[in-house]
Amino acid sequence: MYVYDEHDRQIAAERVTQFRDQTERALAGELSEEEFLPLRLQNGLYVQRLAPMLRICVPYGMLRSDQLRRLARITRDYDKGYAHFTTRQNVQLNWPALEDVPDILSELAEVEMHANQTSGNCIRNTTTDQFSGVQVDEVVDPRPYCEIIRQWSTFHPEFAFLPRKFKVAVNASENTDRAAIQVHDIGLQMVRNDQGELGYRVHVGGGLGRTPMVGPVIREFLPELDLLTYLEAVLRVYNRYGRRDNKFKARIKILVKALTPEGFAEKVESEWAHIKDSPTRLTREAIERIQGYFTEPAYEAMDNASERLASQRFENRRFDQWLSHNVDSHKKPGYAIVTLTMKKTGTPPGDVSDTQLEQIAELAEAFSFGEVRVTHQQNVVLADVRQDQLFELWQQIEPMGFATANLNTLTDVICCPGGDYCALANAKSIPVAESIQRRFDDMDFLYDLGDIDLNISGCMNACGHHHVGNIGVLGVDKKGAEFYQVSLGGSSHHDATIGKILGPSFAQDDMPEVIAKIIDVYVNNRKDEEPFLETYRRIGIEPFKERVYA
Amino acid sequence: MRDIISRDGTISADTWVVVPRPADGDALSIPDQPALIPADLWLAGKEHFEGRDGIGVWFDSHDEPEILDGLVNELKLIAVNFPKFSDGRGYSIARLLRERFGYQNELRAIGDVLLDQLQFMKRCGFDSYALREDKDATKAARSLSFFSQGYQAATDTDMPLFRRRAS
């Protein structure tokens, strides 16, 4: 994974000094609340319902053991001993004191971490597939490109005051899209053209929120070295022409729609023509230098441990279930990808205690070369586990609560912090997730249902990605009471689709039963092994409506 | 009178007057001192201003600097207005004036100019800043110098860090 050199370290240290100065001026009254707002947001600092919330950047989800330990220490020393993994592969603290934030940043900088641009109207953390570099079907490891984008976007002087926030995601798998790139402001799909050259298919103008949209392709093939100049052209067009008169119409998707994707692409192309050969154009050496940080760890030459695993599975049914659901195949023989689930019923999805952070750090060192990845489904991945150590790992993580074998099932809920923590929320989301998890506690039934994405957001800002859940739940405010609107048929994968609203919203207490009825309709209508989404696409929304509103 | 901050943080007094855009039908009235007038009006009456010292132009954040392509160096001072500090269009305008149209003379940020924008303005090619009057100009030098380097190429350098690392 990427390691800072003296330049990165210097910039990180200078940033801490700058934010300390900004915080002091804010506390001294030299900056108005309005003036301090974008400064603190660009440093991930929100003022929330109960306390400030600090969003710490985890670039494209990668964390080392020493960083996890430092996070654990920070949650103990400056917070209440727990943190929250977000749906953008970042980490949030819910209770830091404003005056402590510069010290927290300074502690983070010591382990090459920061909170830069985790909020505000700027270019945010670039996200990618949590299985990057270890999966079989990827065109190339996308992480070096994410790091290149991270460096380019960090304190970019032209794009610090965009009309609205701006999110980039990169995917390099040919068959799956775990990064949901088509619902990002820019989604980059890494591809090879007919000549075998590497490049990107560029989607612009996807997004969730108030006006959910799947991002259209504005360039089928962008050559590899042209990444940054093209991004600069897109951002410049957006910075100049994106709407600034209405916060709800300020995302780039609105501009793309207004100009039409063709019209927008033309504007970008003509801007790009001026700068495509500028010094910002990447060089082969620059890419190779960054790629040098993402080389393979010291894998041992091994065969798959198939027989050993087969007998372990035979002897232990829970291990068998865990292996089927939470373990994925690895590109190297003898290795496996393990997802530690942070979705134990009764714990808010994505929440981890300081002790758990330290446990994860130890597990990473013992089983996976000292690195983990945070997923946008709010879980944690050990990407390089030896197959002959899987049983031992499982035995260790069961009592820790990381082995709930519900990955990708109905109870592997994506859920924002909601009204319990967030000042923007219209409704609570965590209790809804929990009540649904409690209603569906029969693991065999969950496995029988197969993969279902259930996504819950407490408001229109859609941090829980409800629009692209196979089942989406949105908290709404109805005359001061919390209600929940349900949508069906969303997908964040290659077949990205915005879900359709089922009908009038429901009270919180009714939600488990509503979900149960939806599942019922699926079970009664599915053919063979058909997943939920396919059944829905085949039979449409009507049968679900009839049953739920009967 | 506003303080004008230069790239190195030194402070001087503003001798220029920003002439607002006249209401429809009204004529432009130019005071008898160095004046910045709306760029499109300068262009429309260009012959009229020829040979006259102390005339510069200003762009608002929604204006298109493209109208001065090929003419920028006829001006000694161009200003770009930030109607609100959170309006970032002026940074793109500045880079276009410098890097695309080759403007060589003084480029000034006016309007809602606060201390924490100065570092970005400097990198985008502004070399003077009309700091908002309620802000402490003596702190500008510090605000301009928090960072000793950046990752990107911009107006101030055509060497992004990835090229400097290679050399």
Q: Judge whether B167 is closer than 8 Å to chain A, CB to CB.
A: no
Write down the pLDDT at residue B52.
83
Residue A50 has pLDDT above 70, yes or no: no
Write down the pLDDT at residue A349.
83
- CATH classification of A135-293 is 3.30.413.10, yes or no? yes
CB contact at 8 A, B146 and B115 = no
Write down the pLDDT at residue A48.
65
State which fold the A306-397 domain adopts. Sulfite Reductase Hemoprotein; domain 2 (3.90.480)
CB contact at 8 A, B29 and B35 = no
Write down the pLDDT at residue A520.
95
Complex-level ipTM: 0.97
Among residues A71, A81, A39, A110, the alpha carbon closest in space to that of A360 is found at A71
| Residue B31: how many other CB atoms lie within 10 Å | 9
pLDDT in tens, B132-157: 999 999 999 999 999 999 999 999 99
Q: Give chain B's mean pLDDT.
A: 95
Written as six digits, the tokens of A445 are 């039934």
Q: Best mutation site among A158, A236, A239 for testing chain B: the one with the most B CBs within 10 Å? A: A158
Write down the pLDDT at residue A209.
84
Measure CB to CB from residue B149 to each of A11, A157, A274 and give the nearest one: A11
Residue for token pair 């993402």: A294
Residue A204's Cβ-side half-sphere holds a number of Cα atoms within 13 Å equal to 27
What mean pLDDT do residues A114-139 have? 95
Q: How far is CA A76 from the centre of its chain?
A: 25
Measure CB to CB from residue A35 to each of B89, B114, B124 and give the nearest one: B114
Q: Judge whether B100 is closer than 8 Å to chain A, CB to CB.
A: yes
| pLDDT confidence band for A89 (50 / 70 / 90) | confident
Determine the distance in angstroms separating the CA of A112 from the nearest CA of chain B, rounded to an integer: 16
SS3 content of chain A, % helix, strand, coil (to 5): 40, 20, 40
pLDDT in tens, B87-112: 999 999 999 999 999 999 999 999 99
Instruction: Give domain limits for chain A.
Output: 6-110, 135-293, 306-397, 414-548
Write down the pLDDT at residue A52.
83
Q: Give chain A's mean pLDDT.
A: 94
Write down the pLDDT at residue A389.
97
Write down the pLDDT at residue A377.
84
What mean pLDDT do residues A148-164 have? 98
State which fold the A6-110 domain adopts. Sulfite Reductase Hemoprotein; domain 2 (3.90.480)
The larger pLDDT score, comparing residue B167 to residue B41, is at: B41
Indicate if A414-548 has the same CATH topology as A135-293: yes
Exposed e or buried b per residue across B46-80, where buried means at least 16 C-beta atoms within 10 angstroms of its C-beta = eeebeeeebbbbbbbbebebeebeeebeebebbbb
Mention the CATH class of domain A414-548. alpha beta
pLDDT in tens, A215-260: 999 999 999 999 999 999 999 999 999 999 999 999 999 999 999 9
Write down the pLDDT at residue B29.
87
Determine the distance in angstroms separating the CA of A15 from the nearest CA of chain B, rounded to an integer: 7
CA B117, CA B88: separation in Å to the nearest integer? 10
pLDDT in tens, A312-354: 999 999 999 999 999 999 999 999 999 999 888 778 888 999 9
Written as six digits, the tokens of B146 are 């928090």
The larger pLDDT score, comparing residue A416 to residue B104, is at: B104
Residues of A near B (Cβ–Cβ under 8 Å) read 5, 7, 10-11, 14-15, 17-18, 21-22, 30, 35, 38-39, 121, 148, 151-152, 154-162, 236, 239-240, 244, 274, 278-280, 282-283, 285-286, 289
DSSP state string for A160-229 = SS-SS-B-EEEE-BSS--TT-GGGSSEEEEEEE-TT--EEEEEEES-B-TTS-BPPPEEEEEEEGGGHHH
Domains and CATH numbers, chain B: 3-166 (3.40.50)
Write down the pLDDT at residue B63.
97
Q: How far is CA B82 from the centre of its chain?
A: 9
- Chain A nearest-CA residue for B95: A158
Residue A287 has pLDDT above 90, yes or no: yes
* Percentage of residues of chain A with pLDDT beyond 90: 85
| pLDDT confidence band for B51 (50 / 70 / 90) | confident
CA A177, CA A179: separation in Å to the nearest integer? 5
